């Protein structure tokens, strides 16, 4: 993918993110203000922060975060509540252990439960924690997400000790889902060079907490 993007075009690919457990409502209000000033596409926050006035910026909310070790019914209820409270997008975490076991039918079922609870036009992004998986497991998760009706596959929570987004994982995810699904790179992207590499690898959305620094360094 070309990276001849203007700063404004890059901003429109960013989910400006704050998911620290210690984040306060004042912190989230400041996040929204910064998102508005930077022109980012969305903010991404924890569900406890809803309802939230995002001043026209799209609102993404995490689900089953960060471990994914929640019953599908619980994830579905969490997603439904987030939609009821005004979110535009849901970023759900799969059960990573099921992927490691290559039980992709279970992965698909988990995603499908959330999709049913948060139907279109809500955008559903599926976090697969790619750094914790083999290439084969990444491919299996992407196919499960595609089959279950997701809109995006997403690399990482940013909380797993295995690490965050890599160019390799983004390229593999893009090759697997083709042009039909979005690919969101998130986790550990802190510089303009890293953001550029993710876009070149095929990312169509970036989850960033260092949005201002990256945009100011973009050239």
91 is catalytic: yes
Residue tagged active-site, from 15, 91, 95, 151: 91
The reply to whether 125 belongs to the active site is: no
From 75, 110, 151, 184, the catalytic residue = 184
Catalytic residue among 75, 95, 125, 154: 154
Catalytic site residue 75? Answer: no
Query: How does DSSP assign the chain, residue by residue?
Result: ------HHHHHTTEEEE---TT--HHHHHHHHHHHHHHT-SEEEE-GGG-S---TTSEEEEEESTTT--S-HHHHHHHHHHHHHTT-SEEEEEP-HHHHHTT-HHHHHHHHHHHHHHS-TTSEEEEE--GGGS-HHHHHHHHHHHHHTT-SEEE---S--TT-S--HHHHHHHHHHHTTSSEEEEESS--SHHHHHHHHHHT-SEEEES-HHHHHHH--
Active site residues per annotation? 91, 154, 184
């Amino acid at each position: 993918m070309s990276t001849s993007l203007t700063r404004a075009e890059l901003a429109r690919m960013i989910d400006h993110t704050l998911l620290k457990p210690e984040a306060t409502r004042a912190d989230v209000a400041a996040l929204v203000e910064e998102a508005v000033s930077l022109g980012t596409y969305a903010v991404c926050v924890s569900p406890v922060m809803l309802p939230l006035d995002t001043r026209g910026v799209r609102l993404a909310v995490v689900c089953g975060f960060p471990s994914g070790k929640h019953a599908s019914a619980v994830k579905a209820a969490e997603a439904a509540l987030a939609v009821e409270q005004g979110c535009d997008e849901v970023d759900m975490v799969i059960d990573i252990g099921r992927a490691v076991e290559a039980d992709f039918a279970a992965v698909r079922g988990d995603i499908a439960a959330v999709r049913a609870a948060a139907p279109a036009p809500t955008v559903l992004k599926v976090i697969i924690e790619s750094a914790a998986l083999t290439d084969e497991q990444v491919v299996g998760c992407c196919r499960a997400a595609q089959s279950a009706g997701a809109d995006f596959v997403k690399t990482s929570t940013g909380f797993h000790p295995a690490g965050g987004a890599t160019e390799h994982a983004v390229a593999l995810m893009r090759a697997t889902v083709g042009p039909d699904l979005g690919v969101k790179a998130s986790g550990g992207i802190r510089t303009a060079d890293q953001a550029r590499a993710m876009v070149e690898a095929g990312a169509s959305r970036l989850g960033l907490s260092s949005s201002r620094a990256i945009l100011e360094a973009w050239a």
